Amino acid sequence: MPSSQRQKDVCDLLDADHKAVKKMFSDFESLSKSKARNAAQLRMDLARKICTELTVHAQVEEEIFYPALREAIKETDLIAEAEVEHQTAKDLIAQIESADTADESFDAKVTVLGEYIDHHVKEERNEMFPKARAVKKLDLVAMRAEVEARKQELLDELLAAA
Q: What percent of the chain has pLDDT over 90?
A: 81
Say if residues 63 and 14 touch (Cβ distance below 8 Å). Answer: no
The radius of gyration of the chain's CA atoms, rounded to the nearest angstrom, is 17
C-alpha pair distances (Å), 49 with each of 7, 21, 28, 117, 159: 29, 9, 11, 15, 11
Task: Work out the percent of the chain whose per-residue pLDDT is above 70.
Answer: 97
Q: What is the pLDDT of residue 6?
A: 77
**pTM over 0.75, yes/no:** yes
Residue 159 — very low, low, confident or very high, per pLDDT cuts 50/70/90? confident
Q: What is the DSSP letter of 1?
A: -
Q: Rounded mean pLDDT of 2-24?
A: 88
State yes or no: pLDDT of 1 exceeds 50: no
Please give the C-alpha separations between residue 122 and each of 37, 128, 129, 151, in angstroms, as whole numbers. Answer: 36, 9, 10, 22
Q: 123 and 81 in contact (C-beta within 8 Å)?
A: yes
Question: CA-CA distance, 25 to 47, in Å (whole number)?
Answer: 8
Asked whether the predicted pLDDT for residue 3 surpasses 90, the reply is: no
Confidence of residue 160 (pLDDT cuts 50, 70, 90): confident
**Is 1.20.120.520 the CATH classification of the domain at 10-161?**
yes
Helices (H) and strands (E) in the chain, counts: 7, 0
